[in-house]
Structure 1
Amino acid sequence: MKFLDWYVKIAVVSALIGGSMELFMIKTGFYDKVTVLESEKRAWENAPEAQAVREALNPWRNHGSEAKKSS
């Protein structure tokens, strides 16, 4: 318990920094922007165009299933 005061000081400073970061993100509308971006990302990922791109960019998508069928 020799360095207990240092641990308390570090904990208090860390809590203050974290709290100020959260306050800054709330005041600037960060969470609203992230929510919009995440919903747009999910909408794109579920779109037929995104599925076509994933299939076109993954030449090994059926490789494992074909190997299992032939054995």
Structure 2
Amino acid sequence: MKFLGWYLKIAAVSAVIGASMELFMIHTGFYDKVTVLESEKRAWESSEEAEAIREALNPWRKHMMQKQEDTREC
């Protein structure tokens, strides 16, 4: 293990950098903002407006799903 000291130094520096990044995100309220944004995104995705947009973007989706179900039954 010729380079064990070198690997340990790299691991220690990496751990310190990772911990400092986590502390920065905690102190700036990053996780709170992300939680709010994710809940808003999920609420919007389950709305009727989002369903209408998905249907408008892919009007053949129901036909393709029906075709897949028909092939499974055979």
- After TM superposition, list the pairs within 5 Å mapping 1:1-71 onto structure 2: 1-61=1-61, 62-66=63-67, 69=70
For 2:11 and 2:68, the matched residues in 1 are separated by 56
Structure 1 residues 20 and 50: CA distance shift in structure 2, 3 A: same
Structure 2: unaligned runs, 5 residues or longer: none
Residues 20-63 of structure 1, C-alpha deviations (whole Å, 9 max, x = no match): 00000000000000000000000000001001111110133122
How many residue pairs are counted as aligned between the two chains? 71
> What CA distance in whole angstroms lies between the structure 2 residues aligned with 1:39 and 1:67?
32
Give TM-score, length-normalised by structure 2: 0.84
Instruction: Give the percent of matched residue pairs that are identical in Structure 1 and Structure 2.
Output: 70
